Amino acid sequence: MRFPTVAGLLLGLLSLPVTAAFAQNPKQAKPVPCLKPGQRVYEYTEQMPQFPGQQAALSRYFAQAFRVPAVGPASGAGPRRVFINFVIAADGHICNAQVQKGTGDALEAEALRVVASMPNWYPGYQNGEAVAVSYTQSFTVPPTPVAAEVPALPADKVSQPPRFIVVKQSNGVELTLENQLRANSAGLPDGHAPITVPVQFVIDTTGLVSQVKPRSGPGITQRIQQRVEETVYRLRWEPARQQGRKVPVTYQAVVTVYPNYAAPITPAKK
């Protein structure tokens, strides 16, 4: 299903009805793999998924979360539009976010980050059963003259490297970069050994991630690479500085992919 477009940073979003089937709290839903082998993904269901708080809350989320990245002088040629397809899983979490049609630059990365970072939805229901539903969201940004991009420097070659912004959960647990570089549910069978995937990406002058490039190798499937990309796009950073000025940098890390939801979580040290 496709939502209307985003004009600038304001979203005109389709309002979906709330029924008794949505009485559960999405944050309390039992974690399950996003998609099991052969599992159907619906385009439409009898009761469509619902963002908590409905249209108004979803509009506020996008307006507050979306940050227009600097993308170079070509952005002045006309409005820029990115279409992001994603799946709302049977437990309400967002997964499999990918660019359906885009611009080939940091705008894609920001749209992916915002979609992948959404809180859990109330899931869609078909015949009384929670099911996975596919959605497509479009983001439209009007032309804005901006300065051309500065070539990214290696993160270890600048005077002040980028700093990861530690995520604090509602229960007070703080998650470190090590925690955030752990991916789950990539089609690995239960009991499968974790797979480590080296990845390189760019952190721009606003702290956003773009140009994520997971390495290929034995056992690293396309689905695993996609899950690694989704994981890295969620990261937020304080940008690097060189002689006091914010600069884009390339950063290298390793993402560990675990089967289903077996990834351990270690609180940040106080």
Residue bearing tokens 């309390």:
28
Domain ranges of the chain: 6-141, 153-257
Cβ atoms of 13 and 7 closer than 8 Å: no
Q: What is the pLDDT of residue 125?
A: 94
CATH code of 153-257, in short, is 3.30.2420
Going 216 to 257 to 221 to 234, the CA torsion angle's sign is negative
Q: What is the pLDDT along the chain (270 residues), one digit of tens a residue?
A: 544 334 333 333 332 222 222 233 333 333 344 677 778 899 889 999 988 888 778 878 887 888 776 554 444 456 778 888 899 998 888 888 888 887 777 778 888 888 888 888 999 999 999 999 998 888 877 665 544 556 788 988 999 999 998 876 666 767 788 888 887 665 667 777 888 899 999 998 888 888 889 988 888 888 888 888 888 887 889 999 998 999 999 999 999 888 764 444 454 454
* Cβ density class 220-230: b for 16+ within 10 Å, e for less: beeebbbbbbb
> For residues 33 and 87, what is the distance between their CA atoms, to the nearest angstrom?
12
Element (H, E) at 61: helix 54-65
Nearest-5° angle of CA 198, CA 200, CA 205? 150
Long-range contacts of 176-179 (CB under 8 A, 24+ apart): 176/266, 176/268, 177/235, 177/253, 178/266, 179/265, 179/266, 179/268
